[in-house]
Amino acid sequence: MTPSPFTGLGVALATPFRTPVRARHDESTPRVAGGRGPRAATPAVDLDAFGKVVDHVISGGVDYLVVLGSTGEAATVTDLERDELVREAVRRAGSVPVVVGVGHQDTVRTCDLALAARDAGADGLLVVTPFYNKPQPAGIEAHFAQVAATVPGMPIIAYNVPGRTGINLTVSTMARLWTIPEVVAVKESSGDLRQITQLCLHAPEGRHVIAGDDDLALPAIAVGARGLISVCANVAPAPTAALVGAALQGDVEAARAHLAALAPLMAAMFAETNPVPVKAGLAALGFGTGMVRAPLAPAAPDTWSAVHTALADLQVGATLGAAS
């Protein structure tokens, strides 16, 4: 088994969108099912803003990028947009590794996305447990094994986020996944510190747990996690890198101080469904519009206010725009 290359701070990159232009309703306008009016315009990916976010987080000290995870709104990004985003991330990343989210509830579809990510230059894959289907442990193992067989040698981070998938990747099921050579780590977003501890205790040598929640990074690292895949690092990469670095070095006092400074931003980032608040934060920094793709709705005014206040207190960004 090859040791995991993904330690330290990863950032779950958001996908900036441009504000859509709505077409006037006429007979040529596509209608929703049932003929009840025109389809809503879809906001287009803003590759220029995305590139600026990549530059921002790399300059802030992140160790690797994660494109098209939950924060990247992967569920509503098209195949063409996926390819453009991955290639832009790879182009700008230089020596910084790029992990691409390829999770889907269909195993064949996941394998197709894995092949496309590899061909676009990905250094690793983030594979969420299949959602909606609620497979048994044997089905989860077979899912990951088939992805690994499709892209042999490509490092895979298993992604456990039961709040979104409806299924928890337990310690015993993870033990089955550790037998797959390509599975090098698990991003653990259950929010259950007991489970995180057990996963850390039972991870094979060279394999490890990655914290998936910003506010649990310090306790997760304290019990053995080897880093964090962060949402907050989209807007505050340097302070988040300082927190993770101190925690990994065992400097608990410094890590606690960094955590205290980041706590208001962490709270603001999850005041609404991720990535709604982080989009507001990126817009405040001049990276995109704050637009999210339906069925998500843009951030409420209270969320904008909380995000802007937290960024101002951290002194992130030269100017903070007003909510729009």
- Please tell me the predicted confidence (pLDDT) of residue 308: 95
Within a domain: residue 311? no
- Please tell me the predicted confidence (pLDDT) of residue 28: 44
How does residue 317 score in pLDDT terms, banded at 50, 70 and 90? low
Digit-coded pLDDT (tens) for 123-146: 999 999 999 889 999 999 999 999
Distance separating alpha carbons of residues 122 and 302, to the nearest angstrom: 37
Within a domain: residue 120? yes
Whether 319 has a pLDDT exceeding 60, the answer reads no
Within a domain: residue 294? no
- Please tell me the predicted confidence (pLDDT) of residue 3: 55
Within a domain: residue 197? yes
3-class DSSP state for residue 129?
Answer: coil
Mean pLDDT, residues 280-301 taken together: 95
Within a domain: residue 82? yes
- DSSP β-ladder status, 227-230 and 8-12: parallel
Of 183 and 42, the structure prediction assigns the larger pLDDT to: 183
| CATH, residue 58 | 3.20.20.70
Mean pLDDT, residues 163-183 taken together: 96
Distance separating alpha carbons of residues 207 and 184, to the nearest angstrom: 5
- Please tell me the predicted confidence (pLDDT) of residue 174: 98
Residues with a catalytic annotation lie at 159, 187
Which among 291, 285, 294 has a CA at the least distance from the CA of 320? 285
Give the rounded percent of residues in the chain with a pLDDT score beyond 90.
Answer: 86
- Please tell me the predicted confidence (pLDDT) of residue 37: 56
Within a domain: residue 210? yes
Within a domain: residue 265? no
Count CB-CB contacts under 10 A for residue 49. Answer: 21
Cβ atoms of residues 157 and 186 within 8 Å: yes
Structurally, the chain folds into a number of domains equal to 1
β-strand partners of 230 = 11
Per DSSP, the residues of 2-58 read PPPS--EEEEE----EEPPPPPPP-TTS-B-TTS-SBPPPPPEE-HHHHHHHHHHHH
Within a domain: residue 259? no
Whether 249 has a pLDDT exceeding 50, the answer reads yes
* Domain with 235 in it: 8-17+40-250
- Please tell me the predicted confidence (pLDDT) of residue 17: 96
